[in-house]
Amino acid sequence: MSTEVRVRYAPSPTGHLHIGNARTALFNYLFAKNLGGKLIIRIEDTDSKRNIETGEESQLRYLKWLGIEWDESIDVGGEYGPYRQSERNDLYEKHYNELLQKGLAYKCYCTSEELEAEREAQIARGEMPRYSGKCRNLTDEERAALEAEGREPSIRFAVPAGKTYTFNDMVKDDVSFESDGIGDFVIVKKDGIPTYNFAVAVDDHFMKISHVLRGDDHISNTPKQLMIFEAFGWEAPVFGHMTLIVNENRKKLSKRDESIIQFIEQYKDLGYQPDALFNFIALLGWSPKGEDELFSKEQFIEIFDANRLSKSPAVFDSQKLVWMNNQYLKNLDLDEVVQLAVPHLEEAGRISKDRSAEEEEWVRSLVALYQEQMSFGAEIVDLSELFFKEEITYDEEASAVLAEEQVPEVMGELASQLEALENFESAEIKKAIKAVQKQTGHKGKKLFMPIRVAVIGQTHGPELPNAIEVLGKERVLARISKLSN
């Protein structure tokens, strides 16, 4: 095993970057960078039927968007390439032939129908289904006869009998598997393509991977990979299996669970900040010392300690992510927030794509009203709805405010004060509201709540003088006038 820390994230180009896979990549990145090591991105593309054309590019693009950087891969090269499994077939072929020659693997001619029948019979007998090994000791004549029938063989690894495989897991401590519970497994399919467990072990060895940090769902693969390492006399990497991510009902996060947005691309499209998502994912199954929850990428690299990986499932708290992203948005430059919000206003038909300089400034002012409140870019559409309505519908709470006895007096004076303004700007509007207070004697909630409800249609919202400025003089006066009719 290499003395240098070398870790890998090895996606299949079968779809978009899922939150669980992003966490695997992120933890490997933090682990490597904290220890001065390297992150390798390896594309496991041997399942050609499931690969999609844009899968590889999508994985890399959204890893970069999150802020994850790597040292070796298909795009940056490296001395241990190629970094696509589909381009490493010569290496796999050499090594599975070596196992065949040593009698550590064998050709299996069983059909899928025969394997299914065997499996069903084992289940019927109450046995754990696994391959019986019936092709393990075929004679040359028996193999020749099966090939004469036109059968294409797969290659199976001959699992040693009566052996215990134990490894010290970075998360789970000592883990053991009995070889007798693992049937001889396929290492090369009938089409000549190596299977996951074989290719991964070969690649990890030749790419000098020192640590394998991955999801808990891979732990049953580990003994099979340890067998491959042992068969070749290679030293195995250190394994660590992160606990599962679960939803708020403590159920395993499923891609069919529509209560949670699960793909990084979706978060980008909704106007989330990559730094916020990086921060949130880094706390899914890992915890720093102390109570702080907001860290920069550089801070995470400095403090990351694999010993603090959780042994309990990581709960995906959607509300916490919303809160966290809001913290990041509040600290952004306004122009950056505008860039996040504008595409959503355009898509909703609220603003045109070809805007004048005056319209551009109005949009900027609109977004500024909600920067403190916004949790993600797309939220601007719902938050700012009142600025695009001709008619206001007052709910029960708002109607109760407008029914208070002082409201006609306040509205009448407000209309007079606003009508007289030459510069309809927030500072002047604030003075006008103070003048209403002076003229009517009403203050506090008796003054501000009716104005807010009458003009905005809500009992809460953005800073009142700023909101009135963005609404514009004509629209505000029209809303006040309508109340008195």
DSSP designation for 436: H
Three-state DSSP class for residue 77: strand
Question: Position 425: which residue type?
Answer: E
Three-state DSSP class for residue 407: helix
- Residues lower than pLDDT 50 in the chain: 1
67 with 264: CB under 8 angstroms?
Answer: no
45 with 300: CB under 8 angstroms?
Answer: no
Q: What is the torsional sign of CA 446, 449, 452, 455?
A: negative
What per-residue confidence (pLDDT) applies to 485? 66
Residues in the chain: 485
Query: Which entry of 255, 311, 320, 443 is annotated as an active-site residue?
Result: 255
How far is the C-alpha of 368 from the C-alpha of 46, rounded, in Å? 49
How far is the C-alpha of 365 from the C-alpha of 197, rounded, in Å? 56
- Please state the pTM of the whole predicted model: 0.91
What per-residue confidence (pLDDT) applies to 23? 97
How far is the C-alpha of 446 from the C-alpha of 453, rounded, in Å? 11
How far is the C-alpha of 306 from the C-alpha of 67, rounded, in Å? 20
Residue found under tokens 């952004």? 332
Distance of CA 333 to the CA centre of its chain: 25
How far is the C-alpha of 30 from the C-alpha of 68, rounded, in Å? 9
Distance of CA 182 to the CA centre of its chain: 33
Render the burial of 182-214: b for 16+ CB within 10 Å, e for the rest. Answer: bbbbbbbeeeeebbbbbbbbbbbbebbbbbbbb
Neighbour count for residue 428 (Cβ, 10 Å) = 16
Render the burial of 48-60: b for 16+ CB within 10 Å, e for the rest. Answer: eeebeeebbebbb
Question: Position 39: which residue type?
Answer: L
What per-residue confidence (pLDDT) applies to 461? 85
241 with 172: CB under 8 angstroms?
Answer: yes
What per-residue confidence (pLDDT) applies to 176? 96
Three-state DSSP class for residue 249: coil
How far is the C-alpha of 68 from the C-alpha of 384, rounded, in Å? 34
- Active site (annotated) includes residue 252: no
How far is the C-alpha of 203 from the C-alpha of 206, rounded, in Å? 5
How far is the C-alpha of 400 from the C-alpha of 285, rounded, in Å? 48
